Amino acid sequence: MTARLEGRTIIVTGAAQGIGAGIARGMATEGAALVVADLNEEKAAATAASIRGAGGRAVHVRTDVTDRAQVRAAIEVAVAEFGRLDVMFNNAGFNVPQQFLDITEDNWDAVMSVNAKGVLIGMQEAAKQFIAQGGPGKIVNTASIAGREGYPSFAPYSASKFAVIALTQSGARALAQHHITVNAFSPGVVDTPLWEQLDKDLVEIGDAAEVGDAFKDFASGTLIGRAATPQDIVPTAVFLAAPDSDYVTGQVMAIDGGMVLV
């Protein structure tokens, strides 16, 4: 069987660790050339090196997704290294929980800036590159179960993920004329460093008694009966980056073990 992503150049933002690193590794084994774009340069370099060590093709770029010039620079690296850009995964995101009545404007601005504005910038800059290349192209955004339901201590995060779904739908409609598809995937509870921090933060704000409780509580709400690992996301990421998904656009694919049924 031929590799499903042979010859494709893919940028994944937030790919230094967690879901982004997992899907970058998985897509590299399907023949894609990866640009590991992340704020954390050291970890991004390590992830790219591990892909190369496994026989794949990857480079890293220190990228803050809230800074348009840096996103553009990451795209320029993709083109310089691998000739073109085929797929853009706007995956970087974070969450700092706060009790609803304690939410600060700073918290709102920080979360919305990375999770929503960062996705908008990534979509726009990737689309401009696809159009300059003469098309086609694929954009894949990381949504969340929190983009389908509002959680009490995650209001800015939920708002940002609802925004990701809105951007996915708007982008699909706006960019179809350029042969660009725009989709999202929506994870539930994935065992990544994000949850290590979230677990601690939820104890701090009084939502959980002990570190680990919140993760267990959330994961027990899945029909499958366990939390996901980044590996569980890989097949959907490969599908959304491959020609197999050419007739799919404007969609949000849930990979949440059956947490949210829509």
List the catalytic residues: 157, 161
Nearest distance, CB of residue 178 and ligand NAD, angstroms: 25
The residues that touch ligand NAD, with contacts defined as CB under 6 A, are 13-14, 16-20, 38-40, 63-66, 91-94, 114, 118, 142, 144, 187, 189-190, 192-195
Closer to ligand NAD by CB, 68 or 179: give it. Answer: 68
Tokens of 35: 């640009």
Distance CA 206, CA 134 (A): 53
E strands, the chain, are 9-13, 33-38, 57-62, 87-90, 137-142, 180-187, 252-255
Tokens of 65: 């997704």
What would you measure as the largest C-alpha separation in the chain, in angstroms?
A: 55
Closer to ligand NAD by CB, 118 or 137: give it. Answer: 118
Nearest distance, CB of residue 207 and ligand NAD, angstroms: 16
Closer to ligand NAD by CB, 131 or 159: give it. Answer: 159
Tokens of 190: 């994935």
Q: What residues pair up with 139 in beta bridges, in sequence order?
A: 88, 182
Closer to ligand NAD by CB, 37 or 127: give it. Answer: 37
AA identity, residue 126? A
AA identity, residue 243? P
Nearest distance, CB of residue 48 and ligand NAD, angstroms: 13
Nearest distance, CB of residue 179 and ligand NAD, angstroms: 26
